Amino acid sequence: MVRWAGWWLEFPRSLRLVALVRGCAAVGAGGILFLGPLVFHSEGFGSLQIGLALALASGGGLLARGLSGLALDRGAPLALPMRVAALLSIAGDLLLFHAHHWPPFGLGEFFLGLAMGAYWPAADLAVAQLSAPLPSSEGFALARSADALGVCLGALLGCGLAAALGPQALRLIYAVDISGMLLLLLLVRRLPRHGSPAVRSGPPLAAGRAWIMPLLPLLLLALLGSGIISLQQSALPLDMAQGGLARPGLTEAGPGLLIGLQLGLLLLMQWPVGHWLASKPVRLGLRLSLLAFAAGCGLLALSALLSNGLLLLLAAQPLLAFASAAFLPSIAEAVVETAAPEHQGLALGLYSQTWALSGIALPPLAGWLLEQQRHGLGLWLLMGGLCLPALALTHQKAEPRARNY
């Protein structure tokens, strides 16, 4: 315990506060993102209906992400978008807790999408600006570890409620999120208004809007990686519950428990992997994540063909967890290193928008494929196959990141 306390105190106070804020937000998000589709699947909603609601949430997030990043670049306090996000999230949770028909379901998801869109650019910019004297790469490794801890706790709490009280108790994940948002509102009061802009490495950028051009390969990678992670949250639980060509479907608690395994692995891997990659070129983390995503999706696809495909589902979890642990801090750090300080808020907003764009397009497509094919073979083969040509986007020149301690 003393050792862990000493490790925690090595980080700057402001960065520790950001990690606590992100952990609180992630507890509620863990239950909602991974178990929310199961709540409405048990209500009789089809995969396509659930996918459309998630796409509506992503549409709201797409708008809010751009506005949040622009506001931050124009001098808004770091805490302001987080406060707005917490209030929007509470409103969405209240709607979803009582929703039994599609209109309140869709509206609640839209509010949650707005909340996530307002939150993420501010949460990432806070890490970039409040990591000093440590490099921002170390800050992102800590922040993503806090995210993983919160998401894991939230998902496991939801699974525990379902196992103890029955599937209907899954709706309590929205009450958990409300509690986390109230605590977040208390914590952000202690955040500094602004931090020190993270300094980019490399040659000067062109004036005007040309600063966006170096970001385009990163945004394409972010679109693919965020899409796979989004499908793990939306399509994978439905695929598990529905079953494959030969693999039987699982009960309501089964998909949640399997995803809980993945989240637990992510929690164990996030800090060691992120800390190790913090001193390496960002392209290494991105390439490793793409390879692991491809292998994990391949195992998910093959699991549909076997009656004991659950074993392949289990084997895919370490690969997917490693892929996420490498991808999440690497892509955020790559965006911060590439963007000029005066554009980092909007750059992170654009990066965050890739999550919204993939969420708009992929859940409805995945829902349609699952309803048409009655299995996830084609879906996971497609996503895994896209990772291989995407490796070419990581071949940009990058220097190793130096530690400041």
Q: Are 128 and 73 in contact (CB under 8 A)?
A: no
Quote the CA–CA distance of 134 and 126 in Å, as a whole number. 13
Quick one: average pLDDT of 215-234? Answer: 90
Q: Which residues make Cβ contacts (< 8 Å) with residue 66, sequence separation at least 6?
A: 346, 349, 350, 353
Residue 209 lies in a domain: no
Residue 208 lies in a domain: no
Q: How far is CA 62 from CA 117, 202, 367, in A?
A: 6, 29, 20
Quick one: average pLDDT of 340-344? Answer: 82
CATH code for the domain in which residue 312 is found: 1.20.1250.20
Domain that holds residue 371: 13-195+214-394
**Cα–Cα–Cα angle for 262, 173, 77, rounded to 5 degrees:** 90
The residue whose two tokens read 């983390």 is 285
pLDDT over 80 (residue 250): no
Q: How far is CA 286 from the centre of its chain?
A: 16
**Burial of residue 340, with CB atoms counted within 10 A of its CB: 0-12 exposed, 13-18 middle, 19 or more buried:** middle
Q: Which residues make Cβ contacts (< 8 Å) with residue 303, sequence separation at least 6?
A: 244, 247, 309, 310, 311, 312, 313, 316
Count of domains for the chain: 1
Half-sphere exposure (CA, 13 Å, Cβ side) for 367?
22
Residue 402 lies in a domain: no
Instruction: Return mean pLDDT, the chain.
Output: 85
| Residue 245 pLDDT class (50, 70, 90 cuts) | confident
pLDDT over 80 (residue 69): yes
Q: How far is CA 189 from CA 45, 124, 146, 186, 387, in A?
A: 40, 17, 19, 6, 41
pLDDT over 70 (residue 175): yes
Q: What is the pLDDT of residues 255-306, one digit of tens each?
A: 667 766 777 888 899 999 999 998 888 899 999 999 999 999 999 999 989 8
Q: Residue 15: its pLDDT value, please?
A: 93
pLDDT over 80 (residue 205): no
Quote the CA–CA distance of 91 and 116 in Å, as a whole number. 13
| Residue 159 pLDDT class (50, 70, 90 cuts) | confident
Q: Is the peptide bond preceding residue 400 cis, with omega within 30 degrees of 0?
A: no
The amino acid sitting at 303 is S
Residue 143 lies in a domain: yes
Residue 72 lies in a domain: yes
Residue 204 lies in a domain: no
pLDDT over 50 (residue 360): yes
Residue 7 lies in a domain: no
Record the pTM: 0.82
**Cα–Cα–Cα angle for 124, 188, 403, rounded to 5 degrees:** 40
* DSSP symbol at 307: T
Quote the CA–CA distance of 68 and 60 in Å, as a whole number. 12
* DSSP symbol at 405: -
- Residue of 398, 79, 33 whose CA lies nearest to 217: 398
Which residues in 346-358 are b (16+ Cβ under 10 Å) and which e?
A: bbbbbbbbbbbbb
